[in-house]
């Protein structure tokens, strides 16, 4: 029989990776090596199933998948939208649910309603630009930040932010509210376009097994 090649998975580091491995275990895909908290290894192999896994920074996952360094990636919808890579988004994994929102102090609601020329701080400039320019037809100035976005309206860098809201506690503790919702978010499976053709049988089976488990849980 012809030797099967490895299917390679890129997982976004952190909460999503942990949840992904839990989900994969339910369809019989395990990677014991990856559970070792102290390991410095970057890539983990399941020889029996011919699978390889590596952890990457979330925003890099679509890049690995587009170039085929990974066949499959697991990443937040926020990253899929922001990175705009040529990849197939094939499955909503149903966890990591949160919302992309426009937030700020209550007073900023008035500025949004009047389409005022405001500043929007965000880690997601493409998403913010698409929302304000293409959906709302509102001209704004977008300021790219790399984290702790909620600080921006508090210290006067911007009037509003475009950011992820999960429990809403970061907003509450900083006197900010959700002013508008941009879109719902959750973890997605993405696939390299060539891999989808070359490894169609294995990838289709994986998607259908995952769909069954996800359906059972919802």
Site residues for ligand PRP per CB under 6 A = 123, 147-150, 163-170
130/145 Cα distance (integer angstroms)? 17
3-state secondary structure 7-58: EEEEEECCHHHHHHHHHHHCCCCCCHHHHCCCCCCCEEEECCCCEEEEEECH
Q: Which is nearer to ligand PRP, 123 or 202 (CB)?
A: 123
Q: Which is nearer to ligand PRP, 123 or 188 (CB)?
A: 123
> Cβ-count burial of 42 within 10 angstroms (0-12 exposed, 13-18 middle, 19+ buried)?
exposed
Q: Which is nearer to ligand PRP, 59 or 94 (CB)?
A: 59
First to last CA, the chain: 39
Rounded to 10 deg, the angle between the 200-217 and 15-25 helix axes is: 100
| Smallest gap from residue 170 Cβ to ligand PRP (A) | 3
| Smallest gap from residue 141 Cβ to ligand PRP (A) | 20
70/138 Cα distance (integer angstroms)? 38
Q: Which is nearer to ligand PRP, 97 or 135 (CB)?
A: 97
| Smallest gap from residue 112 Cβ to ligand PRP (A) | 20
| Smallest gap from residue 61 Cβ to ligand PRP (A) | 15
Select the residue whose beta carbon is closest to ligand PRP and give its number: 147
Q: Which is nearer to ligand PRP, 162 or 191 (CB)?
A: 162
Please provide residue 5's backbone torsions phi and psi, each rounded to the nearest 5 degrees.
-85, 165
H or E element, residue 158: none
Q: Which is nearer to ligand PRP, 88 or 95 (CB)?
A: 95
| Smallest gap from residue 35 Cβ to ligand PRP (A) | 23
| Smallest gap from residue 145 Cβ to ligand PRP (A) | 9
């Amino acid at each position: 029989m012809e030797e099967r090649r490895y299917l390679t998975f890129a997982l976004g580091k952190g909460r999503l990776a942990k949840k992904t491995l839990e989900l994969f275990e339910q369809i019989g895909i395990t990677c014991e090596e990856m559970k070792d908290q102290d390991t410095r290894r970057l890539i983990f192999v399941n020889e029996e199933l011919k699978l390889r896994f590596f952890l990457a920074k979330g925003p890099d996952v679509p890049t690995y998948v587009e170039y085929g360094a990974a066949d499959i990636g697991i990443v937040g919808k926020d990253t899929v939208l922001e990175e705009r890579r040529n990849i197939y988004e094939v499955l909503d994994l149903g966890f990591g649910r949160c919302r992309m929102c426009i937030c700020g102090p209550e007073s900023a609601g008035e500025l949004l309603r009047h389409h005022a020329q405001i500043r929007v701080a965000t880690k997601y400039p493409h998403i913010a630009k698409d929302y304000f320019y293409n959906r709302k037809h509102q001209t704004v100035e977008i300021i790219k930040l790399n984290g702790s976005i909620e600080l921006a309206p508090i210290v006067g860098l911007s009037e509003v932010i475009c950011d992820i809201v999960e429990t809403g506690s970061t907003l509450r503790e900083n006197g900010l509210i959700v002013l508008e919702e941009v879109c719902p978010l959750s973890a997605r499976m993405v696939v390299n376009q060539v891999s989808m053709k070359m490894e169609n049988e294995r990838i289709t089976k994986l998607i259908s097994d995952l769909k069954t488990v996800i359906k059972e849980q919802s």
